[in-house]
Structure 1
């Protein structure tokens, strides 16, 4: 759920901007329902103060992704949305289908991490000049990979983007295809599943963005996990969306060395990373 909010953003942008604080607190609580909220603004000079705000709603599940858009003169109307239904992929007729190609969201929240401002703003400006549907956005995670970009409707996250690479990514996505270089995974899934899907893409020749889905994530203790906070190993089952092939991917969480800063100006510390240990085709594909 993306709400246009011109003007400055603080480190906790949803409640540290010109947005009504009560609405900001509502948006901060949205993840409890499975919905992620962020603020957006167009690159360039702030000219939207007092105007109607653009709202984008997106669902990023493979084969069921969509983007809906609307203008609102009262952002408080967002509190009337059925967030659990939205998290499940039901937009309830909100707005209109978003026209055209992919949406590029470039993190420029300098109060959260100054690298996002120093590197993200020039990228957003160049993509806008090149004619791409581009928004600056508040924090989207992984700022040590600045400049970062999230693309809709597929929900893929990208890091260390140059203007040329980002334009190539957006051109491919406009054709329904994705690329591996610079991709950090599909945000609909937890981190182990993101790593697993990208690993399978290195074996699978179908470049379509919706070619693959994650059908199961199981911790080494046998418990299913949906959380990025779980430690250890995971067995992730990735399948073609048409069900013709399945893979079992073994993923482990490790500490990345040498130590590096998590953001601009931060102390160098060991960082968590997901490593793929094995990719094993499952033949024949499991029934169902």
Structure 2
């Protein structure tokens, strides 16, 4: 294959028109570890850390169902001093909690274990994570780096580049944490607009992959409500009930004014034809998509 014929999974997904709706992986807790060296293809798992410390952090993260991400600042001169780590936690009450620390040697990372068992603190600004993990998937770097640059120029203290967050074919991917909101298919210009609106309390359906506290059909229902009734705050729509219905799901949403107070949304799943879904994985795979078939105001 020549350079001009090189396969890029995000280009192929755009040509096919792959839907990003309902593709945010489920999760409420994130562990961030600033790592200034080269990121292994498998992220934290591939780091050459003291085995006992690595096992402690990994086991604690598994118990908390936390995703471990390596992070770094975009294109800043390498600074001396300790790296940072953080535990970010989304609570179903709507509270966002964070705990930050620093590390100089591997043993310092053991403090993450205690942080995972503690509630964390309120009052921190959100964290903007941009996947630029090129060793995991080429598109994450090709599309992610320009987005990381654009967002870092606008919000330098909030933005971190990070390792794999899922959905390589939807690069560039941005995660707002601990809000737990995934955006995809972004470029430098759209990312600044989308994130600016998000930070102003206005989440739009365009570019939204989903909320990580919801499961895929629920994410699709919320996205449909946003598309129909306009942008809304992170908690302006809530899932009140979910039930299986004729091979799909019936999802009841409750909204805050000026949105409808109750909305019944029917969602069905479908399977796409097999395609190559990542740059590095030549295996042909199908994906599951979600379609809203009806919406009724109650």
What's the TM-score once normalised by structure 2's chain length? 0.76
Counterpart residue number, 2:136: 112
Counterpart residue number, 1:6: 36
Structure 2 unaligned segments of length 5 or more: list them: 1-30
Corresponding residue to 2:276 among 250, 255, 261:
261
Counterpart residue number, 2:292: 276
Counterpart residue number, 1:235: 250
- Give SS of 1:81's match: helix
Total equivalences in the alignment: 260
Counterpart residue number, 1:148: 173
Contact 2:34 2:84 in 1 (8 A): yes
Q: Does 1:252 align with 2:268?
A: yes
Structure 1 unaligned segments of length 5 or more: list them: 222-231, 284-288
Q: Does 1:185 align with 2:210?
A: yes
Contact 1:144 1:261 in 2 (8 A): no
Contact 2:143 2:187 in 1 (8 A): no
Contact 1:238 1:247 in 2 (8 A): yes
1:210, distance to aligned residue in structure 2 (A):
2.2
Q: Structure 2 CA distance, aligned partners of 1:60 and 1:123?
A: 28
Higher relative contact order (CA 8 A, sep 6+): 2
Corresponding residue to 2:235 among 210, 213, 232:
210
Counterpart residue number, 1:136: 161
Is the helix fraction higher in 1 or 2? 2
1:28-107 matches, cutoff 5 A: 28-29=58-59, 30-44=61-75, 47-48=78-79, 51-59=82-90, 61=92, 64-73=94-103, 74-83=108-117, 90-91=119-120, 93=121, 97-99=123-125, 102-107=126-131
1:250, distance to aligned residue in structure 2 (A):
1.8
